[in-house]
Amino acid sequence: MVRPRLHIGLTGGIASGKSTVAAELSALGAIVVDADALSRAVVAPGSEGLRRVGEALGPTAIAADGSMDRAAVGKLVFADAEARARLNGIIHPLVRAEGQRLVTEAGPDSVVVQDVPLLVETGQADSYDLVLVVEADPEERVARMVRDRGMTEADARARIAAQATDGQRRAAADVLIVNDAGLEDLRRTTRCFWEQYVAPRLQGPTSRSQGGQTGGTTGRPKDGA
Ligand code: ATP
């Protein structure tokens, strides 16, 4: 498999600022692969993925317009762990395969950032050259979800509680961005991260596919960027 020059796994709790960091990294030249977007794409109307979801969960999973009925599916799998496992068993392999295809397509000289909300929960830290974690105060994240996404406070807290803890994500991080100031600060910190951790890897003549630099994060200090 062709591997990118640098393969970054980006993660963080819900509403922590991952997409903002990803957008800044994209502006700096990274190719961003967004697991959330892929998980929607693999069950797009008319897709094989959606056909299999309909087969696994029944016709109520598919709305009249041919799209996946997310509310109905959410209800079905919320109360039924077996149905949830069936759904994940369809979607996760498709997302992984599509992610791999995009990483290969990015080519050997690219910087690929994979935005994977559940990177820690799904034990994928070792798949990346570098794991970048965005952390924000849970109270701030609850406030964002309530204010911007119309969630109830209880829902927002339940979403946070269902994910890994900040401590678990920190343990998996090679670099930690603490998002505790404004958006412009977050973007500036992201640019610092690029300068410190990415730009040096872009120097040098060879790409991996030509026998050049190899990845690996062993011994990399956990660090605030
Ligand atoms: P999700 O897990 O839901 O995909 P996310 O981790 O990708 O969320 P973002 O979408 O980047 O998070 O940020 C969530 C919301 O919070 C956005 O509306 C974003 O503009 C806002 N936000 C993030 N960081 C800050 C900040 N430092 N100051 C103000 N608003 C912020």
What pLDDT was estimated at residue 205? 63
CB 193 within 8 A of CB 186: no
107 annotated among ligand-binding-site residues:
no
Average pLDDT over residues 105-118: 96
Residues 6+ apart with CB under 8 A from 20: 179, 183, 186, 187, 190
186 CA closest ligand 1 atom index: 27
Residues 6+ apart with CB under 8 A from 109: 4, 5, 207
Tell me which residues have their CB closer than 6 angstroms to ligand 1. Answer: 12, 14-20, 117, 144, 148, 179, 181-183, 186
pTM, rounded to two decimals = 0.87
Structure tokens at 95: 């997302």
- Phi, then psi, of 33 in degrees rounded to 5: -115, 115
Residues 6+ apart with CB under 8 A from 73: 53, 57, 61, 87
Q: Kindly report, residue by residue over 22-59, the tens digit of the pLDDT.
A: 999 999 999 999 999 999 999 999 999 999 999 999 99
Eight-class DSSP state of 81: H
What pLDDT was estimated at residue 9? 98
CA–centroid distance, 145 to ligand 1, in Å, is 9
Structure tokens at 31: 């190719």
b (16+ CB within 10 A) / e for 69-85: beebbeebbeeeeebee
CA–CA gap between residue 125 and residue 10 (Å, rounded) = 10
CA–centroid distance, 18 to ligand 1, in Å, is 7
| Residue indicated by tokens 């596919």 | 209
CA–centroid distance, 20 to ligand 1, in Å, is 6
Average pLDDT over residues 180-194: 97
Query: Taking CA 60 as the corner, what is the angle to CA 54 and CA 62, rounded to the nearest 5 degrees?
Result: 55
CA–CA gap between residue 19 and residue 191 (Å, rounded) = 14
Positions of E strands within 74-201: 111-115, 130-135, 175-178
20 annotated among ligand-binding-site residues:
yes
Domains, the chain, ranges and CATH? 1-30+110-225 (3.40.50.300), 37-108 (no CATH)
What pLDDT was estimated at residue 216? 30
Residue 127 in this model has a pLDDT that exceeds 50: yes
